[in-house]
Amino acid sequence: MTIRRLLYLLYIVSLLAACNESKYLSEGQNLYVANKVKTQTTDVKKKKAKAMASELGDLMRPRLNNKILGLRVRLWIYNIAGTTTKEKGFKHWLKYKVGEPPVLATPTLLEKNRDVLQNHLENKGYFRDTVKLEAPVKNKKLTAIYTAVFGPQYTIRNVSFPGDSTDLGRRIDSVKRRSRLRKGNPYDLDVIKNERVRIDTRLKQRGFYFFNPNYLVVDLDTTVGNHQLDMFVKLKDETPDEARQIWRINKIKVFAEYDLHSDTSRKGVVIPGGIQLVDTAHLFKPYLFNNTIIYRPGSIYGLNTHTQTLSRLVSLGVFRFVKARYEKSDSGANQLALTYYLNPTQKKSIRFEVSGLTRSDNTTGGEISVSWRNRNLFKGAELFTTSIYAGLEEQLLGQGVKIGTRRGGVDLNLYFPRIISGPFHWSTSSQFVPKTRINLGYDLFDRSSQYTLTSARTSFGYIFKQSLATEHTITLLGINYVRPTNINPNYQAVLDTTIALARAIETKFIIGSVYNFNYNSQARPNRKTHNFYLNGNVDLSGNLLGLFTGANLDKGKEIHIFNTPFSQYIRLEGDIRHYLSFGRYSMLASRITGGIGIAYGNSSTMPFVKQFFAGGTNDIRAFRARALGPGSFYTGNPNKNAFLPDQPGDVKLEMNLEYRTKLFSIVRWALFIDAGNIWTRTYDSSRVGSAFSSRFLNDVGVGIGTGLRFDLSIIVLRVDVATPVRYPWLPNGHKWVFNKTTDISNMVLNLAIGYPF
């Protein structure tokens, strides 16, 4: 079939579908096909009038029949399906599931829309204006044309608040400084409603428990002229006395093991802080509630205190259900009895995981892990986790040569819901429960015919929040000991000539502190156009040891601990991200990340595990993981030679840009570009071209790609395909290569969980 015939056929089908749209309507019925909103004004700027027309257009109801390429295809299917009395079968499915019934225009519906537009104009300060309606009909198809005729928008001349001497009057007067009702602002009913809620929230933070926004009224005087008005914020005369009074917490009672069958008449025992605790099973130590609940008997009720206490109780992780109930106390006037109902969650749990893998470097294998956790180890909401894992991998190097890898280890973590700092006081936000973390771990890595690597680690530190968006993690002391054993003589010969491999398994003590700061504006879900993420990390090792021992490798004074040199370095790393939203499902995400590691004193190089790498699923995706760089150093194309050793560096700089949007259902699509590299801080004779210099931009690798994300709510599965377009190791003038972007052998497939950044 020629293109001309195909177009002709489509034209005939479109004519038949268009004619069929209103054919089956009864006499007096009209298909509602369009809404149009126009504006008429001489005193309002054209841009503002156009914006108002768009705003009014969004208020139209109901939703009209859907169009596909200008045709109401689903309505056409509904009509040609005919009538059916059956509630199932193909015909019923076609008519009511695939098809769509006609949306009919009625005088009541049209008039209701006109009233909605009229009210909206008044709510936005366009008083004494009107909306006209025209409804032309052609071939039983009705188009509603609404014309909004309005003049200048009314603005606020003066605002007055209650000025009486009562507690309530004084409190309302004290919160007016941040009022949303300001002189010169346009009148807006939504702003008035928000102001009432704002005042109510501020009052509840100051003890007015029984107050609510409906007790406030805003009177208007629109007769002052010049399209201005005066506002009078008043209390309704019928506002009850209890809403005008400040309330205090008289009694605090906690049911620590509450369920529907609990006896709520039990008195409990009074614990420090004046709290009555009902815990017949003795599941928790009393100090847990004294530390977590902010209220004390005699405290003024406050909305912030209420929400913060609930948040702290939930964040302990030991309660499935948390509820607070306030009642008038019979012990005195303006007194509240507060009861917390807490339902404990399951204390212990165990999880088994089995996984299999296959990699592009001819590696296959699997892993099994067992995790056990106790959420209330010492009856103080302490979280204890134990993870044990074991894995086996096998890699085929060619010509029948195989390398087997056995991995195993254990990781122990103990979290206390408080800061353990001895005699020192550590102040944190009362809104969040801080944590003290103790970690202990051991790992075994055995590569057959090459070497065995053992690693032991422990750390002590704190995790705390100052706000929902900011988190601080401090490791006061971290110790990591890495030791190789059973090195095969043949592999030792390779280590003697390949410094990158030798550094990867060198014996080291890493003793120091780490501070990490994280800010994430998306911690609280929002629909802001701009969101930001910032992460900064400072890693110090051996600084105090080096100072006290006078370690100086350059002068031949290398200090050992248990016959092992300790690492001495400063490592800084930063990550800045910006998320620009274009609606609900489209976004432009950008990231700049980088870092530098400086070895000194007792070390000439950074430990391998603390150096930077480039390439991989969350990095520069057009290059194989940990194989790009450093600088322009080249020993082979990392995307085509899977057996190159990982390449570390002391300096890293990376930039990413990714456009994300929704395709359909759970499927998202992305288009991205990544750029960056790593460098050594000083000249490395074994890796010529690796050093960082003022010409570092000449060593940047660039990759482009596209991918799909499957958003399953609880997890995001990601598939990315990327290809390099700039190779750092190629000669100047030939680094940019665009003619190989469609070469499959040059592409890198990335399978991952979660977004790259």
Please give the domain boundaries of the chain with CATH numbers for all domains.
3-65+102-149 (3.10.20.310), 155-244 (3.10.20.310), 248-344 (3.10.20.310)
- Is it the case that residue 214 has pLDDT exceeding 70? yes
Place of tokens 């009538």: 83
Cβ-based neighbours of 549, under 8 Å, separated by 6 or more: 559, 602
**What single-letter DSSP state applies at residue 228?**
E
What mean pLDDT do residues 188-205 have? 95
pLDDT of 82: 81
Confidence of residue 400 (pLDDT cuts 50, 70, 90): low
Separation of alpha carbons 632 and 141, rounded Å: 69
Confidence of residue 358 (pLDDT cuts 50, 70, 90): low
Per-residue pLDDT of 297-317, as tens digits, reads: 999 999 999 999 999 999 999
Cα torsion at 610, 611, 616, 621 (round to 10°)? 130
pLDDT of 401: 57
18-32, 109-123, 213-227, 549-563: the lowest-pLDDT one: 18-32
> In this predicted model, which residue has the larger pLDDT, 458 or 624?
458
Phi-psi region of 69 (alpha: psi -120 to 50; beta: other; left: phi over 0): left
Sign of CA dihedral 387, 390, 396, 397: positive
- Is it the case that residue 195 has pLDDT exceeding 70? yes
Per-residue pLDDT of 102-128, as tens digits, reads: 999 999 999 999 999 999 999 999 998
pLDDT of 602: 93
Residue 410, classed as helix, strand or coil, is strand
> In this predicted model, which residue has the larger pLDDT, 567 or 86?
567
Confidence of residue 2 (pLDDT cuts 50, 70, 90): low
Residue ranges with strand state E in 329-468? 335-344, 348-358, 363-374, 383-398, 401-416, 435-447, 451-465
Separation of alpha carbons 195 and 218, rounded Å: 10
Per-residue pLDDT of 131-142, as tens digits, reads: 999 999 998 999
Rounded to 5 degrees, φ, ψ at 55 are -65, -40
Residue 534, classed as helix, strand or coil, is strand
Cα 370 to Cα 384, 446, 599, distances in angstroms: 14, 20, 38
Rounded to 5 degrees, φ, ψ at 722 are -135, 155
What mean pLDDT do residues 592-605 have? 94
36-45, 242-251, 577-586: the lowest-pLDDT one: 36-45
Of the candidates 591, 578, 590, 471, which has an alpha carbon nearest to the alpha carbon of residue 528?
578
Place of tokens 């209390």: 235
pLDDT of 5: 56
pLDDT of 637: 81
Read off the tokens for 38: 């126009």
Rounded to 5 degrees, φ, ψ at 464 are -155, 155
Place of tokens 């579908």: 17
Place of tokens 């400063």: 570
- Is it the case that residue 204 has pLDDT exceeding 80? yes
- Is it the case that residue 275 has pLDDT exceeding 70? yes
Rounded to 5 degrees, φ, ψ at 623 are -125, 150
Burial of 31: CB neighbours in 10 Å, binned 0-12, 13-18, 19+: buried
pLDDT of 14: 53
Separation of alpha carbons 501 and 490, rounded Å: 13
Separation of alpha carbons 116 and 143, rounded Å: 17
DSSP 151-203: -PPPEEEEEE----SSHHHHHHHHTGGG-S--TTPBP-HHHHHHHHHHHHHHH
Note if the bond before 62 is cis, omega within 30 degrees: yes
User: CA angle, corner 754, sides to 752 and 757, nearest 5?
Assistant: 105
Per-residue pLDDT of 21-42, as tens digits, reads: 777 888 889 999 999 999 998 7
Read off the tokens for 622: 């057009």
pLDDT of 49: 86
What mean pLDDT do residues 443-456 have? 87
Task: Say what percent of the chain tops pLDDT 70.
Answer: 94
Q: What is the mean pLDDT of the chain?
A: 89
What mean pLDDT do residues 201-205 have? 95
Cβ-based neighbours of 686, under 8 Å, separated by 6 or more: 498, 499, 500
Of the candidates 522, 517, 427, 420, which has an alpha carbon nearest to the alpha carbon of residue 472?
517
- Is it the case that residue 9 has pLDDT exceeding 80? no
pLDDT of 694: 93
One-letter amino acid at 20 equals N
Find residue 750's DSSP bridge partners: 720
Residue ranges with strand state E in 558-698? 560-561, 564-565, 569-581, 587-599, 651-664, 667-679
Cα 725 to Cα 125, 549, 594, 670, 753, distances in angstroms: 57, 50, 21, 18, 25
What mean pLDDT do residues 593-604 have? 95
CB 193 within 8 A of CB 161: no
CA end-to-end span of the chain, whole Å? 48
pLDDT of 46: 83
Per-residue pLDDT of 425-446, as tens digits, reads: 777 777 889 999 999 999 998 8
What mean pLDDT do residues 455-481 have? 95
